Amino acid sequence: MDNVSLIDTFAEFKELKNIDRATMMSVLEDVFRSMLQKKYESDENFDIIINIDKGDFEIWHYREVVADNDYTDPNKEIPLSEAKKIDTDYEIGEEVSDEVKLLDFGRRAILNLRQNLASRILELEKDGIYNKYKDKIGDIVTGEVYQIWKKEILVLDDEGNELILPKTEQIPSDFFRKGDNLRAVVYKVELRNNNPLIILSRTQPAFLERLFELEVPEIFDGLITIKKIVRQPGQRAKVAVESYDERIDPVGACVGMKGSRIHGIVRELRNENIDVINYTTNLNLYIQRALNPAKISNIKINEEEKRAEVYLKPDEVSLAIGKGGLNIKLAGQLTGYEIDVFRETEVDDEDVNLDEFTDEIEDWIIDELKRIGCDTAKNVLSLTRDDLIKRTDLEEETIDNVISILKSEFEQ
């Protein structure tokens, strides 16, 4: 086994695109010097010349010529008699350089050298992947679906690096087959058992933000700023945008002509409904826009408690709350205010405020009914039993009990 036996190992270095040439040279020299230290107890008087491209190297040993009776250190000195065998012109005090052959180290040392090199190459590769993706957190990457498991999907990037898309970071309606191309944002980069673990996500707000940057040039160029994004992946999202240039309509630019820009984003997010809202520091107006498409009659804001009481006409309440309460939930997250919805109705002398029933209905149940816009007995009774069950977090038995109490009030 000679120098040629290391060509394959050198070739592995050349394939590492994330490792710069200086680092390669440093690691290779370090491995060779470690071998020299084991054999000669020092590497001070050795020069190592490495040619990565050819997969070749040379090791040269430099020693000073000394008189035979002064010879004490075989690593730094060579007796005159031995130096004369190399070249008869050598004199005391001159420097002798002779090449150290790999075969001189023995088969076991050479095998250890290759193993050490392979180990260092693997470490460099892991560090390269980790550092590469650490700088990409929050950026979109594209990969090919390689393996699909119950709890996660294995994705390969264009360099063959393994990325993980957990089930929890997938849009509920996502469906992929092996070989499909997949887009996601780099969510986390960790070292687990010294191996880089790159976690992707399609549910984070950052994914939607990057998609807007790709589809809307004005956002990419900084002419339009995304102030905040809230979303329920696969169902609904609200995006607050602002433009510092009065000539640019931020909402219109994001939606595009006939929705051309936003349609691509919606398709990528499995038909997620996206509301683009013009950001404003006017809190009343901001809450009104956040509750779109509902039309608000009046708002009362408590800044200390971060609460807003919103009054709407009866036919607007369901629009404000949204399916499963999603619209009002996202509006609250977007504005940072807890939003309570109330029906604005004509005065009904026969109607009774829910607060009048505190002796029969617990306060937390009344609060839950108010949360969906029912602040009077007739408000509650105007909804069907199924509607009340769907919109509140109350048990069916509790709903039945409330309906019974309220009906008995009017029967009397």
Query: CA nearest 287: which of 324, 254, 238?
Result: 238
Q: Is it the case that residue 231 has pLDDT exceeding 90?
A: yes
β-strand 181-192 against 162-166: which pairing, if any?
unpaired
Residue 15 pLDDT greater than 90, yes or no = no
pLDDT digits (tens, 9 = 90+) for 346-364: 555 567 888 888 888 998 9
Output 136 or 78, whichever has higher pLDDT: 136
CATH superfamily ID and name for 3-132? NusA, N-terminal domain (3.30.1480.10)
pLDDT band at 20 (very low <50, low <70, confident <90, very high): low
pLDDT of residue 209: 96
Q: Which of 262-266, 301-305, 371-375, 400-404 has the lowest mean pLDDT?
A: 371-375
The region of weakest confidence among 245-249, 274-278, 288-292 is: 245-249
Question: Poorest-confidence range of 147-151, 208-212, 305-309, 313-317?
Answer: 313-317
Alpha-carbon torsion angle 294, 296, 297, 298, nearest 10: 160
Find out whether 231 and 331 touch, Cβ atoms under 8 Å: no
Q: Give the tens place of pLDDT for each residue, 384-409.
A: 888 888 888 888 999 999 999 888 88
Preceding amide of 233 cis, omega within 30? no
Residues 87-129: pLDDT tens digits? Answer: 888 888 888 887 777 776 767 777 777 777 777 778 878 888 8
What local confidence, expressed as pLDDT, does residue 2 receive? Answer: 45
Asked if the model's pLDDT at residue 8 lies above 60, the reply is: no
Q: How confident is the model at residue 291 (pLDDT cuts 50, 70, 90)?
A: very high
Judged against a pLDDT cut of 80, whether residue 41 lies above it is answered with no
Tell me what the pLDDT averaged over the chain comes to: 85
Q: Sheet holding 273-278: strands in order across?
A: 224-232, 236-243, 273-278
Of 165, 156, 167, give the one whose Cα is nearest residue 201: 165
43-88 residue pLDDT tens: 888 887 777 666 667 788 888 888 888 888 877 888 888 888 888 8
Q: What is the bridge-based pairing of β-strands 95-100 and 56-66? A: antiparallel
Q: State mean pLDDT over 120-145.
A: 89
pLDDT for the residue numbered 4 = 43
Is the per-residue pLDDT at 380 higher than 70? Answer: yes
**What CATH number should be reported for the domain whose range is 136-203?**
2.40.50.140
Report residue 14's pLDDT band, with 50, 70 and 90 as the boundaries. Answer: low
Place of tokens 């807007």: 212
User: What average pLDDT does this structure show over 124-140?
Assistant: 89
**Joined tokens for residue 51:** 């040619």
Dist. CA 213–CA 207, nearest whole Å: 10
Confidence band for 285, pLDDT divided at 50, 70 and 90: very high
Do 340 and 372 contact (CB within 8 A), yes or no?
Answer: no
